[in-house]
Amino acid sequence: MTDPDLRTLCLDLVAMELEMTSVPVRVHRVTDYFLVELARECLENVRIMHALRASLAVMAAADEDAMMRLDSVMEQMTARPALPETAAAKLRSLLEELEIEQLGQLCRTAAGPLQDIPAVTSPWHAFEVLSRMNAQPGGLPPGLALVEYLAAAARPLQRADALREWADEQARELGLTPQLRSLRQQVGHAAPAGPVDAYLVIRLLPQEEAGCYELSSWHQYDPTGWHPARGPVTQVTSETAERAVQKLVYEAAEEWDDAGAIHIEFMLGPDDLNLPVHRWRLELDSEMPTPLYMDYPVVVRSLERSRTRRWHRQWKQRWNVFDQQPERAKQLVVDGEDPDSPRSGDTRALFARLKVDPQVVALILNSPPGATPRGTRRC
């Protein structure tokens, strides 16, 4: 648009798109004047805006990034508000100064699985966030569902009734009254929301170059079930991994401030199982860094085991014993006091014992794997 000849060509294409002889925009010699007048016409006539977009798609087809930015601006300029101003103002007045415990958890429940919920600061902020999310097929919009959950937790009761009345009115407008009534029944008979534990799962995948890793993470904080959401993937080294983990933990602590507990789990390859990840520190730039294990439960899992699916069946059976009949569960100690306990170095006897006794659900070694030559063999 900086070239006067191209500006003329663009206006001709817009006129052809609109089946008009010309567009009421002057081709100023000064680019800024032209752009201001063109923008004014687009804002006053959405048809001109869409015709301009079609023309620019022809003229600037190679500049995909610019077209994506233009589409984003157009979407914001042409989007119609989901709520009338009066309805939005009424809801905001009802939500102001409303104090709700476990607000983040209510947001996640209202939004449903597989939707990442950022940190929210107030009920009104939570509604604004959820109102921009899609509803599940046949379900309520997340924002409307949230109002129902807020009504169940609101005090005094007069405010709760006002919130339900507001939700009823919006449901009638959207033709969603049956869905709202169904949710109201579920919420009314559900147990009060309590703290839910959150999980940050971190995988360190070794790369070809020694000391280099691909760091991936998954975030799980969903009261409806196990629906982990994958985070960004970054490349780290043995020297930078600790600081990268610190950043992930900080983000989790800020986002999940209402979690009952935050569990940190590491998935490590065979050669990295002895990494002291539980002693990796937080507050690295302070005078007194704190080891992870002092603030969070830390678990290390074998990446090799998680990827070898043929091993999963037998351990799932053992887990079912522990879950459904815990009184039958046994532990197995290498070199234990039991005369039948396997001896160190006798892996054949250990495997035989595991094969014939499905009630063994925990194996305790007498030293860390790899601490001795015999400990390098993983069971």
What is the rounded distance in angstroms from the CA atom of residue 211 to the CA atom of residue 286? 26
In the beta sheet, which residues pair with residue 266?
202, 300
Cβ atoms of residues 213 and 232 within 8 Å = no
Classify burial at 254, counting beta carbons within 10 Å of its beta carbon; exposed 0-12, middle 13-18, buried 19 or more. Answer: exposed
Q: Tell me the average confidence (pLDDT) per consecutive run of 10 residues in the chain, 379 residues long.
A: 86 88 84 88 84 88 82 71 81 91 85 77 92 80 94 90 95 90 84 77 94 94 80 94 96 85 94 92 94 95 89 86 88 81 82 86 72 52
Tell how strand 229-230 and strand 234-237 pair up.
Answer: unpaired
What is the rounded distance in angstroms from the CA atom of residue 321 to the CA atom of residue 327? 9
In the beta sheet, which residues pair with residue 192?
none
Among candidate residues 335, 341, 342, 273, the one with its CA nearest the CA of residue 302:
273
In angstroms, what CA-CA distances link 279 with 59, 218, 293, 294? Answer: 57, 21, 7, 9
What is residue 323's three-state secondary structure? helix
- pLDDT of amino acid 177: 93
DSSP code of 375?
G
Which helix (H) or strand (E) covers residue 54, if one does?
A: helix 46-59
Rounded (10°) angle between helices 142-153 and 123-130:
160
Residue 100 CA from chain centroid, whole number: 22
Q: Categorise residue 332: left if φ over 0, alpha if ψ from -120 to 50, beta otherwise.
A: beta
CATH class of 196-307: alpha beta
Cβ atoms of residues 263 and 221 within 8 Å = no
Rounded (10°) angle between helices 123-130 and 103-111:
20
Count CB neighbours of 55 within 10 A.
21
- pLDDT of amino acid 371: 60
Residue 191 CA from chain centroid, whole number: 25
pTM tops 0.75, yes or no: no
**Both ends of the chain: CA-CA distance in Å?**
68
Identify the residue whose tokens are 């899609």: 134
Enumerate the domain spans of the chain.
4-78, 85-189, 196-307, 311-379
- pLDDT of amino acid 92: 94
What is the rounded distance in angstroms from the CA atom of residue 216 to the CA atom of residue 308? 19
- pLDDT of amino acid 297: 95
In angstroms, what CA-CA distances link 105 with 217, 249, 256? Answer: 21, 19, 9
- pLDDT of amino acid 360: 87
Torsion sign over Cα 213, 274, 315, 361 = negative
- pLDDT of amino acid 71: 82
Residue 48 in tokens: 């001109």
- pLDDT of amino acid 114: 65
- pLDDT of amino acid 379: 42
Identify the residue whose tokens are 């007048």: 37
